[in-house]
Amino acid sequence: MEYNLITVNAGHSAKAPGAGANGYKEHVYARMIKDKVIARFKSVGVKTVDTTSNASTPSAVLAEQAKKCNAQPKGGRLDVSIHLNSGGGTGCEVLYYSEKALAAKVSDAIADVTGYKNRGAKERKELYFLRNTSAPAILIEVCFIDSKNDMKILNAKMNDIANAIVKAITGKSVHESKPAPKPPKKDDNKDDLYKVQTGAFKDKGNAERLAAELKKRGVSTYIVKE
């Protein structure tokens, strides 16, 4: 399906941070991923609105997310929420209310670029965000924040994950821009002449004998009096 508008939010907030482990905080990583996903949706020409909430309680965050989503036109809209899982597991999964095929496609795409265990699409109609948005919605659990290996992969492949999410939802590939190659450095001294001195003698005869020996070996020489 082609969407006219996609809303994207990062789960939780600084005052309602969600899960955390080993120094990682869910709301921080969810925002990092959200920013990359939004930038890539825009790069492929999809209108995108950030519906992230900075409310101070979990319930207020969820209510504001849904309110921001529902303030957008309903027709052709998809609502996406970015989260990290926890609880001792590993891998990616995508939760849905009605969008099973899309959820499976996004989970497959993340697993393909990361090597994560693919936990697949999971129906979760009781979740506030999925239940209270007026358009189709999915909630992406990118990986497990309490898995050191999952987080190692996330830190290394966050751009790939964002690209995969966008491709799975829109069918459009993200083309990363590469910096233009630097022109060769101009050699301002290309006409300079560098000299190698092999000896210095007070006796001219010694200098002449060395010069003659070098000439026999094919080395161009000349004698300079200083």
* Domain residue ranges of the chain, discontinuous segments joined by +: 5-170, 194-226
Instruction: Confirm if 37 and 11 have CB atoms less than 8 A apart.
Output: no
**Which has more confidence, 108 or 211?**
108
Query: What is the side-by-side order of every strand in the sheet holding 5-10?
Result: 47-50, 5-10, 77-85, 137-144, 92-96, 118-123
Give the model's pLDDT for residue 87: 97
Q: Per residue in 117-129, pLDDT tens?
A: 999 999 999 999 9
Q: Please give the Cα distance from 96 to 100 (Å, whole number).
A: 6
Q: Per residue in 144-191, pLDDT tens?
A: 999 999 999 999 999 999 999 999 999 999 986 555 556 655 555 555
Percentage of the chain surpassing pLDDT 90? 77
What global pTM score does this model have? 0.78
Instruction: Confirm if 169 and 102 have CB atoms less than 8 A apart.
Output: yes
Residue 194 has pLDDT above 70, yes or no: no
Beta-bridge mates of residue 80: 8, 138
Beta-bridge mates of residue 93: 120, 141
Domain 5-170 has CATH 3.40.630.40: yes
Residue 58 has pLDDT above 90, yes or no: yes
Instruction: Confirm if 126 and 112 have CB atoms less than 8 A apart.
Output: no
